[in-house]
Amino acid sequence: MADRVPPPGLVHHPGAGGGSVIREALTLSARPDVLSFAGGLPASESIDAEGLRAAFDQVLSESPHTVLQYSVTDGDRRLREAIADRLTGRGLLTDPDRPLVTTGAQQALALLAAVLLRPGDTVAVEEPTYLAALQCFARAGARVIPVPTDDDGIEVEALAHVVDRERPRLVYLVPNFQNPTGRTLSLERRRAVARLAGEKGFWIAEDDPYGDLRFRGQHLPWVTAQDGAQDRSILIGSLSKILAPGLRLGWIHAPLCFRRACVVAKQAMDLHSSTVDQAAAAHYLATHDIDTRLEHASFLYRERCDAMLAALPEALPEGSTWSHPDGGMFLWVRLPGHVNAEELLPQAVSHGVAYVPGAPFFAGPPDRSTLRLSFAGHNPANIEQGMKRLGKAFT
């Protein structure tokens, strides 16, 4: 037999595979004896399974041959109307022709990278930031430059320096209850970032899957809605935390030239997002008081966040610091000294508790003493119990 020639190797994108720690942490969360605060899953109580089942029933009986058929790339008209109504209601005057429905906010990030980034282009990000966005930018071959953050989000002066020095095409922000820190970008800084984008000429990606989950304080207007940002800001949203992540529905709202490029890119990726899922989501949004549901979900998250905040002083070593989120699902911890949260994870698991080490969320040299806790998935009693276990693991 002739020698067999191996097929060509797979493409390797440096920095694009950093998710293994999170994957491991999520695997641990499946163990029944572990109270896991690792995953970023919305509370199951916040998902209206019965209402969604009825919405699927309705659209499948009403128009089965439409909702089971191929459809347009832009997305279901009724869903785009519902999204445009919500955006306008929150201060971004728009119409149903503007949002493009995506397969989760994650696909919106992939589209953004596909239409904007060439290998070697620069993206500035909050340090730390959403891991899967970092992976997306790495896959595009982008150079990712971290910008320092504090309790009010990205530090604008530091961003201005990065912009002058590195000339990024894109600045990526998670303005509300950020993943992983839970922090919110202040209004003053939203205005300043929009101004800077106008002066220096860069795109802003405003990724906001958590904004509807505010449980303290007032909603803040989007960066995208600030003076000067409309022609250079891309707002990304999701139904994952509002309805259910399994629907895999999100949207991108962008200037028209950008939107057109995204439609072409999406055609090559998946033609369109699931027709039946979009129809059911649109029907659900048209027939339910979603704002009241979101108020209930936010109340649930507030209770859980407060339970965690109350338990942390006892659970964590003296000198630890943590964020105080006004919404969303995450809280960010820094342990004192030179401890490594990744090395401590097996010890925590052996005590029946799990978290995500902070290091993979950094674009630059990681602060290994950090970790992310999600308070969304457990009731206050379990949170108290879990924090006691964490206390034992850390002593």
Ligand X SMILES: Cc1ncc(COP(=O)(O)O)c(C=O)c1O
Q: Are 335 and 192 in contact (CB under 8 A)?
A: no
Q: How, if at all, do strands 122-127 and 170-173 pair?
A: parallel
Stretch that binds ligand X, among 5-13, 99-107, 293-301, 366-374 (CB under 6 A): 99-107
Rounded distance, CA 69 to CA 109, Å? 26
Nearest distance from C-beta of residue 248 to ligand X, angstroms? 7
Residue type, 380: P
Helix, strand, coil percent values for the chain (each to nearest 5): 45, 15, 40
Q: If residue 210 lies in a helix (H) or strand (E), which one and from where to where? A: none
Select 140 or 315, whichever has its Cβ closest to ligand X.
140
Nearest distance from C-beta of residue 138 to ligand X, angstroms? 15
The single residue among 22, 29, 39, 40 that binds ligand X, judged by CB under 6 A, is: 40
The single residue among 36, 94, 179, 224 that binds ligand X, judged by CB under 6 A, is: 179
The pair of three-digit structure tokens given for residue 292, joined into one six-digit string: 């009241």
Per-residue interface string for the shown chain with ligand X, residues 185-224, x marking contact by CB under 6 A: ----------------------x-x---------------
Residue closest to ligand X (Cβ): 104
The single residue among 25, 67, 87, 105 that binds ligand X, judged by CB under 6 A, is: 105
The single residue among 106, 122, 181, 369 that binds ligand X, judged by CB under 6 A, is: 106
Q: Are 76 and 69 in contact (CB under 8 A)?
A: no
Nearest distance from C-beta of residue 209 to ligand X, angstroms? 5
Select 239 or 316, whichever has its Cβ closest to ligand X.
239
When asked if residue 175 is in the footprint of ligand X (CB under 6 A), the reply is no
Nearest distance from C-beta of residue 338 to ligand X, angstroms? 29
Nearest distance from C-beta of residue 269 to ligand X, angstroms? 14
Select 40 or 128, whichever has its Cβ closest to ligand X.
40
Q: For the chain, give me the number of helices (H) and strands (E)?
A: 13, 14
When asked if residue 79 is in the footprint of ligand X (CB under 6 A), the reply is no
Closest CA to 358 of 320, 307, 387: 320
Q: Are 216 and 302 in contact (CB under 8 A)?
A: yes
Select 325 or 391, whichever has its Cβ closest to ligand X.
325
Select 40 or 377, whichever has its Cβ closest to ligand X.
40
Rounded distance, CA 106 to CA 102, Å? 8
The single residue among 36, 135, 240, 275 that binds ligand X, judged by CB under 6 A, is: 240
Nearest distance from C-beta of residue 90 to ligand X, angstroms? 17
Stretch that binds ligand X, among 101-109, 194-202, 354-362, 385-393 (CB under 6 A): 101-109
**Backbone phi, then psi, for 172, in 5-degree steps?**
-100, 125
The single residue among 43, 46, 122, 130 that binds ligand X, judged by CB under 6 A, is: 130
When asked if residue 245 is in the footprint of ligand X (CB under 6 A), the reply is yes
Size of the site for ligand X (CB under 6 A): 13
Q: Are 79 and 100 in contact (CB under 8 A)?
A: no
When asked if residue 370 is in the footprint of ligand X (CB under 6 A), the reply is no
Q: Are 49 and 385 in contact (CB under 8 A)?
A: no
What SS3 class is residue 182?
coil
Residue type, 224: T
Rounded distance, CA 228 to CA 13, Å? 35
The residues with which 141 forms a beta bridge, in sequence order, are none
Select 209 or 357, whichever has its Cβ closest to ligand X.
209
Q: If 0-12 CB within 10 Å is exposed, 13-18 middle and 19+ buried, where does residue 372 land?
A: buried
Per-residue DSSP letters for 183-228?
----HHHHHHHHHHHHHHT-EEEEE-SSGGGB-SS-----GGGSTT
Select 94 or 240, whichever has its Cβ closest to ligand X.
240
Nearest distance from C-beta of residue 317 to ligand X, angstroms? 28
The single residue among 25, 79, 111, 174 that binds ligand X, judged by CB under 6 A, is: 174
Rounded distance, CA 195 to CA 197, Å? 5
When asked if residue 182 is in the footprint of ligand X (CB under 6 A), the reply is no
Q: Which residues bind ligand X (CB under 6 A)?
A: 40, 104-106, 130, 174, 179, 207, 209, 238, 240, 245, 250
